[in-house]
Amino acid sequence: MRKLTFVLLAVFLFVGIFSLASRVTAALLCDPVKTDKADVTRDGIVDSADTDFARARLGCNTIVPDCARADVTGDSKVNALDILFIRGQFGCFSSRCAKADVNKDGVVDVKDINFVRENLLCNLVTGGEDCQTSDVTGDGKVNNFDILYVRGQFGCKTQACALADVNKDGLVNPDDIHFVQDNFDCDVSSGEAACVASDANRDGEVDSKDIVYVNHHFNCSPRGYSRP
């Protein structure tokens, strides 16, 4: 009995250490490929909603689309390894979501569809930056496949949305503007939390450019996130 208890404690400790190490690694460096896999809820960020999604499908048949999505390790099974994989990317933002946010307002919605539609069949060589941004599939053309790609990411939030929510209350609104103004010209290098958060565009200074950045992301409501 004691031996069994010892083994169970050892396994529990190993899983805990592995999970913690994975989170620390993710906080230091997010792998875009792993992050896109781990964001099984397709909301733009890897968090507890993704582990809940996988946990609800433990042992299910990967022929079912949702189960196949939860099988992030690709071993044809949804199990504890998939949950550990997802935990390893906690706090990371999906590059797939960022790509679909063609108008760069922090959320993928109908405005992005309209943005792509306005650039349908444009010439990537002469069409300018908007045309190139609209080619989200990267096939050298702006067509219906790009619209379908954007639609597939509807509702997801990007890191830009999280950065613009400088007061971290879950919504980008005038309160964030006031927050930035209260920290104008502060020393970002000091590491003071409010000052660092106010540098929304991450250029090392808190100034009018940050207000423009926040204003561009008005009404964006990021879900839980763990990294500035």
Q: What is the CATH number of the domain that holds 193?
A: 1.10.1330
Q: How many separate domains does the chain show?
A: 3
7: pLDDT strictly greater than 60: no
Mean pLDDT of the chain: 87
Domain annotation covers residue 228: no
Among 151, 170, 192, the domain-final residue is 151
Phi and psi, residue 146, nearest 5°: -70, -40
What pLDDT score does 71 carry?
97
Sign of dihedral through CA atoms 39, 44, 50, 53?
negative
Tens-place pLDDT, residues 136-148: 999 999 999 999 9
Dist CA 88 CA 70 (whole Å): 14
Tokens 């792509």, located at residue: 116
Q: Which residues lie across from 157 on neighbouring strands?
A: 107
- Do 53 and 103 belong together in one domain? no
- Do 142 and 170 belong together in one domain? no
76: pLDDT strictly greater than 90: yes
Domain annotation covers residue 138: yes
* 49 contacts 43 by C-beta, under 8 angstroms: yes
Two tokens, residue 74: 């690709």
Dist CA 200 CA 178 (whole Å): 13
Two tokens, residue 122: 């444009």
- Do 211 and 146 belong together in one domain? no
With a pLDDT cut of 70, the percent of the chain lying above it is 85
* 108 contacts 156 by C-beta, under 8 angstroms: yes
Question: What's the chain's length in residues?
Answer: 228
Among 37, 68, 87, the domain-final residue is 87
* Mean pLDDT within 89-104: 93
What pLDDT score does 23 carry?
43
Round the CA-based radius of gyration of the chain to a whole number and report it: 21
* Mean pLDDT within 13-22: 47
Packed helices 174-182 and 208-216: angle between N→C axes, nearest 10 degrees? 160
- Do 29 and 81 belong together in one domain? yes
Dist CA 10 CA 47 (whole Å): 26
* 93 contacts 84 by C-beta, under 8 angstroms: no
Domain annotation covers residue 223: no
Domain annotation covers residue 103: yes
Domain that holds residue 99: 95-151
Helix (H) or strand (E) holding 171: none
